[in-house]
Amino acid sequence: MVETGRRMNASGINQGTSGNISIRNPHGFLVTPTSLPYDRMQPEDLVQMSFDGTYEGSRRPSSEWRFHRDILQRRPDVEVVLHCHSVYATTLACHHKTIPSFHYMTAVAGGTTIRCARYATFGTQALSDNALEALEDRMACLLGQHGQISLGRSLAAALALAIEVETLARLYVQALALGEPPILSDAEMARVIRQMKNMSYGQAPDLDDAERPKAD
């Protein structure tokens, strides 16, 4: 977790002491502490939390522990929650913009869009509730006037998704400079999502038999 936090900052998707990470374990979950730079953080600084909100150790948990707890409780398919303040994703979040399917890779978050959650004060239950709503059937979302959340089954997967969300956000901001970009249809995005699932299962990203061109 500490190394992932350092990689998060080194990649440019986070700055200073902002952002936080959690990972599920048999006793609840570990979460990064509040107000401690990643370059000074050590494994013993991580905070063990229970799902009832209690914690152990000398450091206080991240102020955002509520959405870490609630996401891990609600989403048994997720092991890691990563939150960061990446510049382009946050730029869109400041305008409460959802990322539409302007590019097929939007499907990497599990659907046709990457939603933006409604604004709520950081560290509150309202922010957690809004994040859960935006993450319904998704692996990532933006947080209104705040940042982004990316989920994963591993630390590496969550970090890779956060970087991909930031890349998409940057592309979308740049595309908007030329005007509203065309949006891929839901039917095409369903096809893309199916291809991505096939690839994750180790299958070649070929067309389904029903969609293959017929031989003469």
Crossing angle of the two packed helices 155-176 and 87-94, in degrees rounded to 10: 60
Which residues neighbour 210 within 8 Å (Cβ) at sequence distance 6 or greater? none
Q: How far apart are CA 117 and CA 127, in angstroms?
A: 8
Q: Tell me the H-state helices in 62-213.
A: 65-74, 87-94, 125-134, 155-176, 186-200
List 3, 44, 56, 64, catalytic entry: 64
The yes-or-no answer on residue 64 being catalytic is yes
Q: Map 104-120 to HEC letters.
A: HHHHHHCCCCECEECCC
Q: Which of 146, 138, 17 is nearest to 81 (CA)?
A: 138
Q: Which positions are catalytic?
A: 64
